[in-house]
Structure formats: C-alpha cells, structure tokens
Amino acid sequence: MTVSFLSMQDVAMPNPRSHRNSAFHRLLAVIRELLGNPSSGFGFIVISILLLTALVAPLIAPYDPNVIDLGQTLQAPSAQHWFGTDELGRDILSRIIYGTRISLTIITIVSVIVGPVGLVVGTTAGYFGGWYDTIMMRITDIFLSFPSLILSLAFVAALGAGLENAIIAIGLTAWPPIARLARAETLTFRGADYISASRMQGASPLRIIVKSIMPMCLPSVLVRITLSMATVILTAAGLGFLGLGAQPPLPEWGAMIATGRRYMLDNWWLVAFPGGAILLVSLAFNLLGDGLRDALDPKQR
Amino acid sequence: MTAIDVSNLSIDLGYGSAKKRILGDVCFSVEAGESFGLVGESGSGKSTILRCIARLLTLWEGDIELEGRSVKNMPFAEYCRMVQMVFQDPYGSLHPRQSIRTALQEPLRIHRMDRQMDRMERALVDVGLNPDFLSRYPHELSGGQRQRVAIARALILEPRILLLDEPTSALDVSVQAEVLNLLADLRARRNLTYLFVSHDLAVIDHMCERLAVMQHGRVVEVMGREVLATGRAKDPYARELIQASLEYDQAV
C-alpha cells in the first residue's frame, strides 16, 4: 500500500500559443469549413450576395423599382429589361433587387425576436424544471400544434395587414422549435459537474443560465435559426401573396407573385423571377444551416 | 473544534411499498484540520453523502453541521466561503467554453473579492501551474492539469473545508500521485479539513488519518488509519474489504 512519489515540478509548462484573436480565428475557420463543402459553400455565397445586393441596391438596380411607365407594360425579358417588366411597366430586376432589403429586414427582425425569446424560455424551463417547465412547455406545444402560416394568418388578421404585423406574426410562430431545442440541450447540461461547481461557488440561477448554459446552447440555436430562415422567407412570401404581408407598392417577392398571378399565363416572367429568388434564398439558407451544423456542433467531431 | 458533523443522515426514494432507502442513519464527525476518508464499493453512497453536504442534494433527513452550524440555515454566501468541492471527472468539471481565467474569476466576481488578478495568479501557482494558463481553455489541458485547475478554483474562495469526490480516480497513476501530493501539501499549508471519498484504500491510507467504511448506504465502521495496515477491523465487511485490497496490492 504505497503510492509512488513523483516530483510535481515538470507539469508547469509555459503557454506556447497566444489567444489574442481566437474569436476571429474561430470565425475564419468556420467560414473556411463552410466554403470547403460544395453545398454549404453555395449557401454561404448566395447569402453573401444577398447581403451585398441589399446593401448596394440603389447602385446596381438599373431602374427605380416604383416608377410606373405605362408605355413599357408587360415587356418580355430583353437587353433593356433583363427580367422583363410588370403590368405597370416597372422593371422586375430592380424590384427583385430592392426586394432583398425587405426579405433581409424580415429575417433580421424575426431572428432578433425569436432567438432570445426561444433561448430564454427553453433554458429557464430546462434549468428550473417543475411546474414552470410544465407551463412553458404546454404553451410551446400549443404554438407548435398550429401550422405556422395559419397561425401567422390569424395574428395578421387580428393585428391588421402590413409588413410590421407580418414580422410580428412570424416571430410569434417561429420561437417554439427554438425553445424546445434550448430546453433539450439544457437538460443534458444541467446535471454536469461544472454547473454543480458554479452553484457551489454561489452563482445565482440567472448567472448560471446566462454564463454557463446559454453559451452551450448557442451553436445549435444558431443552426436552428438559420434553418428556420427558409421557413420564415416562405411564410413571409406566403403572407405577401395572400395580401396580408407587405402591401402592393413595396417590391416584396411574395406580393410581386400575387399581383403577377393575373398575367401569369401569357407573361411567365412576372412570377418566375420572384419565385426563383424565393427558391434560391430559402435553399441557400437551408444549405448554410446544414453546413453550420457540421461546422459548429462539437458532438459531431 | 468539529468541522463536519453528520448525524442520522438518511435519504429515502419512492413512496409506500416502493420506498427504498438510499442512505441510512449515517453518523460521523470530522475534526478541524483532519482528513477523513469515506470508502466503500460502487453505489455504497459515498458520493451521495458528499453531495448532501455540498447542498447539491436537498431532500435528506437528519442533520449536517459545519463548524457547529446547520447547513440548512446558513447564509449561502457564507457557506460558499467555508466549503468547496473538487469533482471526480476533470473533463466534466470545467466549463468547455470558458477559459481558465473565466473559471477562476467567476467566484471572485460573485463574492466581490479584491485583487482579483493577484488571487488568480497565486491560485494557479499554488497548484503548480504557470500563470500563463489563465488564457487557456480546458481542451488545451491534460487531465492532471485540469484537475489542478479544478483544485485552484475550489481554493480561490479560501474555504476551510474541502470535499473531494474521488479527485484522482480519473487520472493516470503517476499523475494521481502528483495530485495527491499537491493535496497533502495544500492541506498542510492552509490547515484545511478534507472529506475524501475514494474506493481506493491505498489513496485513503496515504491521505487520511481516519476513515469510514460504507456498505449499502450505511457506515459499517469508523476506524483509524493504522487499522488498514493490520487489517484488524471489527466489522466483517470492512475486514474483507481491507483484505481484498491488500491481496490486490500484493498481486500487482
């Protein structure tokens, strides 16, 4: 029964690496990984182009998206109007370019609402458990049991048609899956020793949730938000198409399809180009989300 | 002075006929400055006792007194400054996304302690690590280094009592010896009280003056360290455990 005595001097090694820019390097590494895979690379590039387009829309759009030119109605795609013109003679390419701003506004505001709400509801429910968990999860169940478009329709009907109300309605329907995810993640961490350790050090539940649990949930929540962006774009376009989202003069893609519907049979370009834009962007968000999951999820390594 | 006094600690799970006793009437006391061991086979309730004292489990009956005051009605901030714990798994006890700096600074921030940088550097030096380690993340450290960081984190609030839940069982044998020597050294320097859980009698023999042998949630015998060498325990199970351990050591 003897324990061998070894010196404990040689364990203290100086740190060879510096971590000054570790967050920046991590971001670069994630981007490199996204570009390394063809499908997530496609998603990343399309989203980057979308962001850039929205930023410089007035510079690259060949025409004003709202100027009516009744001498040029329903022109087929040509060198002058690449994507043709609509029933009021407005250039469709310009409208699609300006439409990126509306889509991005919707996406940004929805994720700013949905991310924190889902994260807070999910982590608190998972951490506290008990009746609080039961109540919160039944509420999310109720929200989850409606198809999101139908529920947004109900909200818009109650709040009134318009872009702002459409954003609020989509935000209200998009948080439950994120809350569920955050709760499930929290349940796997709450019993971990590092949570016990920080509780023993006197950390309040709020501090534990914000400092220890949320950073652990963040990667999967980010992935989930990216993936749900595709649904958000489709729901926004659906509301626009039904006349409950963005209202007609605004170049919103769904609303463009809705007004083009009447001329669709003879003038295919009125719906094909906005439809293609919706398809491309929601596909890109899906692919980017898949790629992000591979790049961020530590469990898959 | 008595540092830890556990009396009639019991835990029952389930209701009615399905009721099952997890811990039964555990009594022992640890003097200030003493190192007390808890041994027993897996599932005998050693770690459960530690978690009760650590206030991580709350549904127990009986009484636990620390320095003469019941843990149940002690202000939590004061309690944290008195007792800290080192966990078994060095891979699970450090937050994977927090740097060592954050891990050490959190308790100081919570308790609003002064000279934080100073304290953090000294805590690392005290456990035999270079202060450069502050900017590292747990995945960049070896198991032994992580356990040293965990010990530094436990000691940064300057507690008088340290609960050790098999602090070396997840480590390689040579690293195990280093960490044990570090713990013995820290106890001597800071006059700490240890409650040391282990299933390894050799470790307990090296670290503790007295120990309690546990079986099926009960303390079967409290004995001094010298009994381990002679094997003259009163209780048949304790005798068997010591004998088995002696034979195993000889076989190795």
pLDDT band at B85 (very low <50, low <70, confident <90, very high): very high
With a CB cutoff of 8 Å and minimum separation 6, the contacts of A250 are: A102, A163
Question: Looking at residue A10, what is its pLDDT?
Answer: 37
pLDDT band at B164 (very low <50, low <70, confident <90, very high): very high
Structure tokens at A193: 């020793």
The pLDDT of A169-190, averaged and rounded, is: 90
Percent of chain A whose predicted confidence (pLDDT) is above 70? 91
B181/A15 Cβ within 8 A: no
Question: Looking at residue A11, what is its pLDDT?
Answer: 39
Lowest mean pLDDT among A229-233, A296-300, B91-95, B231-235: A296-300
Question: Looking at residue A4, what is its pLDDT?
Answer: 40
pLDDT band at B252 (very low <50, low <70, confident <90, very high): low
C-alpha–C-alpha distance, residues B35 and B197, integer Å: 11
C-alpha–C-alpha distance, residues A175 and B174, integer Å: 51
A6/B93 Cβ within 8 A: no
Question: Looking at residue A121, what is its pLDDT?
Answer: 93
List own/partner pairs for A72-75 with CB under 8 A and 24 or more apart: A74/A263, A74/A266, A74/A267, A74/A270
Question: Looking at residue A9, what is its pLDDT?
Answer: 36
Question: Looking at residue A7, what is its pLDDT?
Answer: 38
Chain B residues with CB inside 8 Å of A202's CB?
76-77, 80, 107, 110-111
A8/B178 Cβ within 8 A: yes
Average per-residue pLDDT in chain A? 84
The pLDDT of B21-45, averaged and rounded, is: 87
C-alpha–C-alpha distance, residues A270 and A260, integer Å: 5
Q: Please give the CATH topology (third level) of the domain spanning B2-251.
A: Rossmann fold (3.40.50)
Most trustworthy range by pLDDT among A39-48, A60-69, A241-250: A39-48
B89/A11 Cβ within 8 A: no
The alpha-carbon gap from A26 to the nearest alpha carbon of chain B, in Å, equals 13
A220 and chain B in contact, CB less than 8 A? no
Question: Looking at residue A172, what is its pLDDT?
Answer: 86
- CA-nearest residue to A216 within chain B is B97
Chain B residues with CB inside 8 Å of A196's CB?
54, 56, 85, 87
A4/B174 Cβ within 8 A: yes
B93/A197 Cβ within 8 A: yes
Question: Looking at residue A298, what is its pLDDT?
Answer: 54
ipTM comes to 0.86
C-alpha–C-alpha distance, residues B5 and B52, integer Å: 12
pLDDT band at A284 (very low <50, low <70, confident <90, very high): very high
The pLDDT of B109-138, averaged and rounded, is: 89
- Residue A123 clears pLDDT 50, i.e. is over it: yes
Lowest mean pLDDT among A10-24, A205-219, B18-32, B87-101: A10-24
Task: Return the CATH number of the domain spanning residue range A57-62+82-300.
Answer: 1.10.3720.10
The pLDDT of A218-230, averaged and rounded, is: 88
Question: Is B206:A3 a contact under the CB 8 Å cutoff?
Answer: yes
- Residue A1 clears pLDDT 60, i.e. is over it: no
Which of B91, B97, B129 is the best residue to mutate to test the A interface, defined by the most A CB atoms within 10 Å of its own CB?
A: B97
Cβ neighbours of B17 (radius 10 Å): 5
